[in-house]
Amino acid sequence: MTSPAARLYAALHEVACDNDSARMRAGLAHGDYTSAETLALEDERIFQRSWVCLGHEADIGEPGDYAVEAILDHEVLLIRGDDGAVRAFHNVCRHRGHAVAAGCGNARWLTCPYHAWTYASDGSLFYAPHAADVAGFDQATLGLRPIRLETVAGALFVSLDADGPSFEDCYPGLRAEIETWAPSPEEMELVYQSPLRHEANWKASVENFSECYHCGPVHKYLTGNIIDPDSYQVSAAGLVQRHIVGGRDPSMIQRLWHVWPNTAMGLYPLPGVGLVWCIRHMYPRTVAESTYHYRWYATGEQPVDAIREYALHHETTTGAEDAAVVAGAQRGMRGDPAATNMLVCNPAHGVGSEHAIAYFHDLVRVARETP
């Protein structure tokens, strides 16, 4: 019997993106963004089955470094072991289910705050008070439950389906494609991150990334100083969007990949610095709230202070502008849930096309229909 993830990816790969036709397309209904039942279905059929990025190896660079991230109600503990390997676990004590860790930090041992069961950085159970002489207590089998983890250019992708297909099987050739352009993970240093609150459904956050139709009206600084929107090219295939945009500095080209369902990464043209690696996550939180989490990295001799300064500026300009418009869309859709989004698909005019959103909507529909 195939795993839920295998069924999902087999169905998704039957969906094609129309990267050629100029036409209007009906998108998702507004009610798809405002229904708690729909989000619960997306949790089950998308997020519990897909490869989801939760960070980068550089975020937990030293042995004992850890971070807890969430895929809706599913908390994932990422930790670098004493052997240097990064692992992922369910952030759940094997005793009575309390969360083992919170936030991020560095620890040689992780001790559950409830009954002090203590785990090593490789997830194994190190100590359980008063349990050693209890019949049936098998310390070797009571480590934290592992979660499958793979890396792409250092980005940490996890799958909650223990029996699902590999990342390569789900996104053939993508790892090699991205790693052709990405800096070496060993050279990357996390210099700034901004988890921006979007008062909007996660799909609205993904869609906002998926087009630059809004860039002219919304992002004056971005279009005037960083990118040339008239050069925008976007295409999608194989569960991946590819965005290529010329910089205002003609020596730099922005290249971005959006990986189903909710992660984007790529090279950002920073004047006076060069091409900077950036990861963006569109995490669902509730039906009407998501987190648009930026992570900015420096490599080699790139000036950390300059990247951090721009990332902060980006947070208060482009980032804040995106947060405002998706919140406005969410508010409007809540008031008319029976209506349907209408998408302008004109791939030859990249900056004014929403065909990647149409593809995303088709994927969402198929995912929700796949048992």
Pair (308, 184) in one structural domain: yes
Tell me what pLDDT residue 267 has. Answer: 98
Tell me what pLDDT residue 59 has. Answer: 98
Q: Is residue 106 situated within a structural domain?
A: yes
Q: Is residue 297 situated within a structural domain?
A: yes
pLDDT tens digits, one per residue of 147-188: 999 999 999 999 999 999 999 999 999 999 999 999 999 999
Rounded mean pLDDT of 320-336? Answer: 97
Rounded mean pLDDT of 121-137? Answer: 97
* Statement: residue 1 has pLDDT above 70: no
Rounded mean pLDDT of 221-240? Answer: 96
Tell me what pLDDT residue 217 has. Answer: 96
CB of 315 within 8 A of CB of 301? Answer: no
User: Which CA distances in Å does 56 have to 9, 69, 242?
Assistant: 24, 12, 20
* Statement: residue 140 has pLDDT above 80: yes
Q: Which residues pair with 149 in a beta bridge?
A: 158
Cα–Cα distance, 116 to 224 (Å, whole number): 55
Please report, for the domain that includes residue 89, its CATH number: 2.102.10.10
367 Cβ neighbours under 8 A, 6+ residues apart: 8, 11, 12, 42, 45, 46, 49, 261
Q: Is residue 169 situated within a structural domain?
A: no
Tokens of 228: 């040339």
Pair (133, 248) in one structural domain: no
Please report, for the domain that includes residue 212, its CATH number: 3.90.380.10
pLDDT tens digits, one per residue of 88-108: 999 999 999 999 999 999 999
Residue-number span of the structural domain to which 86 is assigned: 53-159
Q: Is residue 355 situated within a structural domain?
A: yes
pLDDT tens digits, one per residue of 204-218: 999 999 999 999 999
**CA-closest candidate to residue 232, choices 211, 250, 251, 249:** 211
Pair (147, 265) in one structural domain: no
Pair (45, 153) in one structural domain: no
* Statement: residue 300 has pLDDT above 90: no
Cα–Cα distance, 88 to 80 (Å, whole number): 9
Pair (36, 84) in one structural domain: no
Q: Is residue 25 situated within a structural domain?
A: yes
Pair (154, 182) in one structural domain: no
CB of 143 within 8 A of CB of 94? Answer: yes
Pair (213, 105) in one structural domain: no
Pair (220, 274) in one structural domain: yes
Pair (127, 75) in one structural domain: yes
Pair (239, 226) in one structural domain: yes
**CA-closest candidate to residue 236, choices 133, 118, 353:** 353
Q: Is residue 280 situated within a structural domain?
A: yes
- Mean pLDDT computed over every residue of the chain: 97
- What percent of the chain is predicted at pLDDT more than 70? 100
pLDDT tens digits, one per residue of 255-279: 999 999 999 999 999 999 999 999 9
291 Cβ neighbours under 8 A, 6+ residues apart: 195, 196, 197, 198, 281, 282, 283, 285
Rounded mean pLDDT of 333-358? Answer: 95
Pair (126, 262) in one structural domain: no
DSSP string, 310-339: HHHHHIIIIIHHHHHHHHHHHHHHHH-TT-
Pair (100, 145) in one structural domain: yes
Helix, strand, coil content of the chain in percent (nearest 5): 30, 35, 35
